[in-house]
Amino acid sequence: MINIDSIERGIVLDHIKAGNSMTVYKLLNLGSLNCSVAIIKNVKSNKTGRKDIIKIDERIDINLDVLGYIDPNITVNIIENGKTVEKRHLQLPKQIVNVVTCKNPRCITSVEQEIDHIFRLADEEKQTYRCIYCEHEHKK
């Protein structure tokens, strides 16, 4: 049996699709934190069969749009004094900024390096986004 200590104050990202925890870790830049970050992979789940969990031993600002884009089923649990004080449920964000890059070689973002890569949700059911500059489609 694996033992991961509970946290007194911090954040628990729960219900991450099994195998996606490292993507979350990288996109949220959790490697740059000066606190403990535990990644628990392939945990049994009654809801989904298997899931990943990330425990962050500090309260930090998390980009909920990035999380919602990666997996809108992730639950963000805010922990205070060892207890969950808030649960945030995510959804696909209407817009994402600098999460993915436009692959269209003729897009202005290919030429102008300082321009933000902005995509708007075009089709929620298909999880399709479009570049706001060139309308290039990006599927998750």
Report yes or no on 102 lying in a domain: yes
Per-residue pLDDT tens digits for 38-71? 999 999 988 778 999 999 999 888 888 889 998 8
Does the predicted TM-score (pTM) go above 0.75?
A: yes
Give the count of domains, the chain.
2
Same-domain pairing of 44 and 81 = yes
Give me the long-range contacts of 45-50 (CB less than 8 A, separation at least 24).
Answer: 45/15, 47/15, 48/15, 48/17, 48/18, 48/73, 49/18, 50/18
Same-domain pairing of 120 and 61 = no
Per-residue pLDDT tens digits for 85-110? 999 999 999 999 998 999 999 999 98
Same-domain pairing of 113 and 130 = yes
Same-domain pairing of 108 and 77 = no
Domain harbouring 130, CATH code: 2.30.30.20
At 52, list the tokens: 């990943």
Report yes or no on 27 lying in a domain: yes
> Above 80 in pLDDT, residue 5?
no
Same-domain pairing of 84 and 99 = no
Report yes or no on 1 lying in a domain: no
- Name the DSSP letter for residue 54: E
The range of the structural domain enclosing residue 115 comes to 95-139
Distances (CA, A) of 54 to 4, 19, 32, 38: 11, 12, 15, 6
Report yes or no on 16 lying in a domain: yes
